[in-house]
Amino acid sequence: MPDITLTTLQNLKQSGEKIAMLTAYDATFAHVACQAGVEILLVGDSLGMVLQGHDSTLPVSVSDMAYHVACVKRGNQGALILADLPFMAYATTEQALVNSAAVMQAGAHMVKLEGSAWLAEPIARLAERGVPVCAHLGLTPQAVNVLGGYKVQGRHEAQARQMRADAIALEQAGAAMLLLECVPSELAEEITQAVKIPVIGIGAGAATDGQVLVMHDMLGMSLSGRSPKFVKNFMEGQSSIQAAMSAYVAAVKDQSFPAAEHGFSA
């Protein structure tokens, strides 16, 4: 696989080919995901739950993220590495600059920040200084205590209108990509069409420019034994993890995943 860059992703959006993103936290799984054709490896703060066993992403530190980014970099074979900045690591613009430097120097190609229009300032500052940013809208797990749990966002018209405005504002501020989590499919489609940058969905329907799942979820592994509605177990019927990942990439590309049952209505 040739090296995936922001230009590659922009070209995929323009051509209509879907983008496949999957989480990875170490060198071996990063290598296998690349072999399967995954274009973006997300080193997510989801590692706090699936690797560390916490009940949320909040305990994850910047040093945790930098460590796992460095591990993924060693196994990467051409995918774009996207790294989360963890809880309160970008509460101020100065923190965003310092902590982005840490994960970029560890091997990330882009950082992901959760929030809304208030992210415009740190995104602009980071973009000016050579750090591409993916803005994460909708269900933002770092704000789970404010949101009152893991709930679909944007179902009410005022919420939907605000999310559309936020997406446009963050693109104008310099965001290179958007991620929409647990957003009604129709709203996600509207946002995808309203911006020129790639939009990745998780629980946001099939109309986004690409999809992402937590690797452990798509392999049918869960500490709780429960899977979110938007997850499909791609390990079923497969003989290996690489085959399951290849099936995931193929399903994203041919648009058989996500199906209607994996999305949410307004």
Within a 13 Å sphere around the CA of 108, how many CA atoms are in the beta-carbon half?
29
Candidates 219, 221, 223; CA nearest to 241 is 219
Q: Is 100 annotated as a binding residue?
A: no
Q: Is 114 annotated as a binding residue?
A: yes
Q: Is 45 annotated as a binding residue?
A: yes
- Choose the catalytic residue: 39, 181, 186, 190: 181
Per the annotation, the verdict on 181 as an active-site residue is: yes
Terminal CA-to-CA distance of the chain, rounded, Å? Answer: 38
Q: How many CB atoms lie within 10 A of CB 98?
A: 13
d(CA 236, CA 233): 6
Q: How many residues does the chain have?
A: 266
d(CA 185, CA 203): 8
Q: Binding site for 3-methyl-2-oxobutanoate: which residues?
A: 45-46, 84, 112
The residues that are catalytic are: 181
Annotated binding site for Mg(2+): 45, 84, 114
- Give binding residues as ranges: 45-46, 84, 112, 114
